[in-house]
């Protein structure tokens, strides 16, 4: 039986052109060799397993090649190339600084540098993990690095560039290696699989590419692992999922489908399935956040490139993104983000995630209330105390026949509203003005009004606890907020103050924190299109930052000021120290009553320290 050689070694690139995903570096190096402008010290930075050492070795081999081709690639046939290939070349020295980081090790290296190469033109010194060198070793190295003999080339490699001393950095030509794109990794793996005679599914390789997070060596190890596990020399998507213990992203698509259709039940069952498979709840939440993020970047053609997924997945994301509303995604990100932050401190973590899912499933119902009529300020006062009557059927009918392009969420939201207590309350204002509903809902400005709707909804759904009665508070202020004003007010300090006050009131009713209430009651001034607000401390600043998104959204929805901005400042704290030492106490008292000083002088008193 042949010795098994891991793919990372067996398929280590031997020419510049075969290096995966670092063309910016290989091209530069090749040009430098071609024009004879090779630096004598290089620093290769980048994550692990992206080809730093490989590139260093290729460089060493190439510049020593005796018959270098026009394409600036080593021939692989000359004496020098063969000795490199057999790891028998005397012209390359590798030092692992992680285990050889003392001054002695560096002195040994410097001693070797003194001797010119016996064969070939250059001696190459590769120092891996160079950031691990001790301070003294660094210092011992500096001189040699600055003025190396003409035949010596140093290649320092590190994963942590920030730990390298500036004196070293300034002496090196720095190359930053990229994380390798999942697509490139998958492509490379497919090549290897073909050579090894392994049947693979494209999705399986793309999955490995993603899981490797830019590191080709990791990807190759995973590839080997999966090949070892497979009994029939086949790599399927399912087997890779299982072997690498990855949560199938299909689950996120399914859960999102359930959430956008308002199905709490389906989302909970799916979550249960995920837990049963042995996945951690927190990982699930993080994955869900990433999923929402991916859907969000699909919304705009300009950001689709930020989607780092396989091609088949990309299609799915674009499809689901088209079906999910922007307002839903933004709110969902916010809610799931909160869940992520608080996960560790939750006593019952499963329930914590489940609550998050419930809130998310509830979102479509809440968001769509806003596409209903804007209720008049005066009318709403009358509406509120009215008992719930026949509102429900009218309401739901209106909604399901709305002209939203997203039929999906609309039709299901009735069912989402049903299980919670919110519906009757939510229905009230609609019932009071059923006529106003039609013209408004018929407006094609669905997409345009989406963000403003969102801003009105997020904080409420987030701050309110998700218990039954609390839902009423979740939805009630919703209806009071006239969202789509036909005409916005011009931006003046007065109109701003009015809108600001309304927002503060709304938050108060939603049960905001005391700090936020105080913060929102602070005075402010208007400087052009910027609100200048002075705060007392960082707590207030934090509260304002938390509310900022909703606040600005609300103000912009009221005022004709799309580029309105806010500039919060924390006023420097007044030093209000209490007198502590006797001298301080005396000075403090003397300040209040100058006669004390006279008394002290007259009687020749002294302060007892
Ligand atoms: Zn050669």
Cα of 76 to ligand 1 centre, how many Å? Answer: 5
Cα of 148 to ligand 1 centre, how many Å? Answer: 25
Residue at which a domain ends, from 176, 196, 219:
176
Query: 177 and 20 in contact (C-beta within 8 Å)?
Result: no
Closest C-alpha among 483, 461, 465 to residue 474: 461
Handedness of CA 27, 24, 304, 280 (dihedral sign): positive
Handedness of CA 178, 184, 189, 195 (dihedral sign): negative
- Asked if 532 and 391 sit in the same domain, the reply is no
Cα of 278 to ligand 1 centre, how many Å? Answer: 53
- Asked if 495 and 479 sit in the same domain, the reply is no
Q: Which of 393-407, 434-448, 487-501 has the highest mean pLDDT?
A: 487-501
Which pLDDT band holds residue 306 (cuts at 50, 70, 90)? confident
> Full-prediction pTM beyond 0.85?
no
Cα of 592 to ligand 1 centre, how many Å? Answer: 91
CA distance linking residue 540 with residue 534, whole number of Å: 10
The pair of structure tokens assigned to 66 is 């005796």
- Helices marked H in 114-263: 135-146, 166-169, 182-196, 202-211, 216-229, 237-244, 249-260
- Asked if 373 and 495 sit in the same domain, the reply is no
Cα of 92 to ligand 1 centre, how many Å? Answer: 15
- Give residue-wise pLDDT tens across range 116-142: 888 888 999 999 999 998 888 888 888
Which pLDDT band holds residue 229 (cuts at 50, 70, 90)? confident
Closest C-alpha among 165, 352, 529 to residue 156: 165
Q: How many domains does the chain have?
A: 5
- Give residue-wise pLDDT tens across range 450-471: 444 444 444 444 444 444 444 4
CA distance linking residue 553 with residue 342, whole number of Å: 25
Give the pLDDT confidence score for residue 87 in this predicted structure.
84
- Asked if 121 and 31 sit in the same domain, the reply is yes
Residue at which a domain ends, from 441, 463, 486:
486
Q: What is the mean pLDDT of residues 521-549?
A: 84
What is the DSSP code string of 118-132?
SSSS-EEEEEETGGG
**SS3 call for 247:** coil
CA distance linking residue 205 with residue 291, whole number of Å: 20
If one compares 40 and 513, the residue with the highest pLDDT of the two is 40
**SS3 call for 20:** coil
Q: Residue 353 pLDDT > 90, yes or no?
A: yes
Residue appearing with tokens 């394409």: 71
**SS3 call for 312:** helix
- Asked if 165 and 187 sit in the same domain, the reply is no
- Helices marked H in 433-513: 434-442, 446-463, 470-480, 493-509
Q: How far is CA 275 from the centre of its chain?
A: 24
Asked if residue 103 is part of any domain, the answer here is yes
Cα of 37 to ligand 1 centre, how many Å? Answer: 20
- Asked if 134 and 254 sit in the same domain, the reply is no
What's the start-to-end Cα distance of the chain, in Å?
88
Cα of 146 to ligand 1 centre, how many Å? Answer: 29
Query: 358 and 264 in contact (C-beta within 8 Å)?
Result: yes
Cα of 83 to ligand 1 centre, how many Å? Answer: 10
Q: Report the DSSP beta bridge partners of residue 157.
A: 44
CA distance linking residue 480 with residue 370, whole number of Å: 10
Instruction: Provide the domain limits for residue 338.
Output: 249-486
Q: Residue 192 pLDDT > 70, yes or no?
A: yes
Cα of 88 to ligand 1 centre, how many Å? Answer: 14
Close Cβ partners of 101 (under 8 Å, ≥ 6 residues apart): 132, 133, 134, 137
Q: What is the mean pLDDT of residues 586-605?
A: 86
CA distance linking residue 398 with residue 421, whole number of Å: 20
- Asked if 146 and 11 sit in the same domain, the reply is yes
CATH number, position 69:
3.40.50.300
CATH number, position 564:
3.30.300
Q: Angle, nearest 10°, between helix axes 446-463 and 470-480? A: 150
Asked if residue 481 is part of any domain, the answer here is yes
Give the pLDDT confidence score for residue 350 in this predicted structure.
93
- Asked if 368 and 493 sit in the same domain, the reply is no
- Asked if 501 and 582 sit in the same domain, the reply is no
Cα of 30 to ligand 1 centre, how many Å? Answer: 15
Q: What is the mean pLDDT of residues 378-396?
A: 43
- Residue 181 has what DSSP assignment? P
Cα of 67 to ligand 1 centre, how many Å? Answer: 5
Closest C-alpha among 202, 188, 193 to residue 309: 202
- The number of residues in the chain equals 609
CATH number, position 226:
1.10.8.60
Asked if residue 1 is part of any domain, the answer here is no
The pair of structure tokens assigned to 519 is 């913060």
Cα of 91 to ligand 1 centre, how many Å? Answer: 14
- Asked if 267 and 387 sit in the same domain, the reply is yes
* H or E stretch at 288: helix 281-298
Give the pLDDT confidence score for residue 419 in this predicted structure.
43
Q: Residue 484 pLDDT > 70, yes or no?
A: no
Asked if residue 296 is part of any domain, the answer here is yes
Q: Which of 35-39, 97-101, 266-270, 430-434 has the lowest mean pLDDT?
A: 430-434
Closest C-alpha among 609, 591, 543, 596 to residue 570: 543
Give the pLDDT confidence score for residue 465 in this predicted structure.
44
Cα of 524 to ligand 1 centre, how many Å? Answer: 74
CATH number, position 404:
1.20.272.10
Asked if residue 84 is part of any domain, the answer here is yes
Cα of 72 to ligand 1 centre, how many Å? Answer: 10
Asked if residue 2 is part of any domain, the answer here is no
**SS3 call for 261:** coil
Close Cβ partners of 432 (under 8 Å, ≥ 6 residues apart): 375, 379, 382, 383, 386
Cα of 52 to ligand 1 centre, how many Å? Answer: 21
- Asked if 350 and 266 sit in the same domain, the reply is yes
Cα of 153 to ligand 1 centre, how many Å? Answer: 18
Query: Per residue in 301-313, is it b (16+ CB within 10 Å) or e — as a string?
Result: eeeeeebbbbeeb
The rounded percent of the chain whose pLDDT value lies above 70 is 79
Q: What is the mean pLDDT of residues 14-32?
A: 91
Cα of 177 to ligand 1 centre, how many Å? Answer: 26
Cα of 63 to ligand 1 centre, how many Å? Answer: 9
Cα of 60 to ligand 1 centre, how many Å? Answer: 11
Q: What is the mean pLDDT of residues 572-591?
A: 77
Asked if residue 58 is part of any domain, the answer here is yes
If one compares 540 and 351, the residue with the highest pLDDT of the two is 351
Residue at which a domain ends, from 196, 226, 244:
244
Cα of 116 to ligand 1 centre, how many Å? Answer: 20
Cα of 129 to ligand 1 centre, how many Å? Answer: 28
Give the pLDDT confidence score for residue 469 in this predicted structure.
43
Q: What average pLDDT does the chain have?
A: 79
Cα of 53 to ligand 1 centre, how many Å? Answer: 19
CA distance linking residue 569 with residue 398, whole number of Å: 46
Cα of 96 to ligand 1 centre, how many Å? Answer: 26
Cα of 66 to ligand 1 centre, how many Å? Answer: 5
- Asked if 491 and 558 sit in the same domain, the reply is yes
Asked if residue 370 is part of any domain, the answer here is yes
CA distance linking residue 351 with residue 335, whole number of Å: 15
CA distance linking residue 603 with residue 318, whole number of Å: 89
């Amino acid at each position: 039986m042949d010795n098994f050689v891991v793919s990372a070694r067996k398929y280590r690139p031997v020419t510049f052109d075969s290096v995966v995903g670092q063309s910016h570096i290989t091209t530069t190096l090749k040009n430098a060799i071609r024009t004879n402008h090779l630096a004598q010290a290089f620093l290769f930075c980048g994550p692990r397993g992206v080809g730093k050492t490989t590139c260093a070795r290729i460089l060493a081999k190439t510049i020593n090649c005796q018959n270098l081709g026009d394409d600036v690639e080593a021939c692989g046939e000359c004496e020098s190339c063969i000795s490199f290939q057999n790891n028998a070349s005397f012209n390359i020295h590798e030092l692992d600084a992680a285990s050889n980081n003392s001054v002695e090790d560096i002195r040994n290296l410097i001693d070797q540098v003194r001797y010119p190469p016996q064969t070939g033109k250059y001696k190459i010194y590769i120092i891996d993990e160079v950031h691990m060198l001790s301070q003294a070793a660094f210092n011992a190295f500096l001189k040699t690095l600055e003025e190396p003999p003409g035949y010596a080339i140093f290649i320092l490699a590190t994963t942590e560039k920030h730990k390298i001393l500036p004196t070293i950095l300034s002496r090196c030509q720095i190359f930053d290696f990229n994380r390798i794109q999942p697509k490139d990794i998958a492509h490379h793996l497919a090549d290897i699989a073909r050579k090894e005679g392994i049947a693979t599914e494209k999705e399986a390789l793309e999955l490995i590419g993603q899981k490797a997070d830019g590191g080709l060596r990791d990807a190759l190890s995973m590839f080997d692992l999966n090949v070892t596990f497979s009994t029939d020399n086949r790599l399927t998507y399912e087997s890779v999922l299982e072997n690498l213990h990855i949560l199938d992203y299909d689950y996120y698509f399914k859960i999102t489908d359930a959430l956008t259709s308002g199905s709490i039940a389906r989302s909970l069952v799916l979550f249960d399935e995920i837990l049963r498979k042995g996945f951690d709840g927190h990982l699930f939440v993080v994955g869900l956040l990433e999923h929402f993020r991916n859907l969000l970047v699909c919304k705009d053609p300009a950001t689709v490139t930020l989607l780092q997924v396989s091609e088949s997945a990309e299609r799915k994301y674009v499809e689901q993104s088209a079906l999910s509303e922007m307002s839903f995604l933004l709110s969902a990100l916010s809610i799931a983000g909160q869940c992520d932050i608080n996960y560790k401190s939750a006593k019952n973590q499963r329930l914590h995630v489940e609550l998050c899912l419930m809130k998310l499933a509830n979102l479509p119902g809440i968001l769509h209330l806003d596409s209903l009529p804007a209720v008049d300020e005066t009318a709403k006062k009358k509406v509120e105390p009215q008992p719930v009557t026949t509102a429900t059927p009218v309401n739901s009918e209106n909604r399901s026949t709305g002209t939203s392009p997203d039929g999906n969420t609309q039709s299901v939201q009735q069912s989402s509203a049903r299980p919670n207590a919110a519906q009757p309350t939510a229905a009230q204002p609609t019932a009071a003005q059923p006529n106003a509903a039609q013209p408004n809902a018929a407006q094609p400005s669905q997409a345009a009004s989406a963000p403003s709707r969102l801003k009105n909804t997020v904080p409420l759904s987030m701050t309110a606890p998700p218990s039954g009665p609390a839902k009423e508070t979740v939805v009630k202020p919703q209806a009071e907020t006239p969202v789509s004003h036909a005409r916005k007010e011009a931006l003046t300090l007065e109109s701003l103050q009015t809108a600001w006050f309304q927002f503060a009131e709304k938050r108060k009713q939603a049960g905001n924190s005391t700090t936020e209430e105080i913060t929102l009651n602070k005075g402010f001034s208007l400087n052009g299109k910027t609100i200048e607000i002075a705060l007392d401390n960082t707590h207030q600043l934090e509260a304002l930052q938390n509310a900022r998104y909703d606040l600005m959204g609300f103000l912009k929805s009221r005022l004709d000021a799309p580029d309105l901005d806010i500039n919060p400042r924390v006023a420097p704290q007044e030093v209000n120290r209490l007198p502590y030492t006797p001298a301080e106490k005396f000075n403090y008292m003397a300040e209040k009553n100058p006669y004390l000083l006279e008394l002290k002088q007259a009687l020749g008193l002294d302060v007892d320290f």
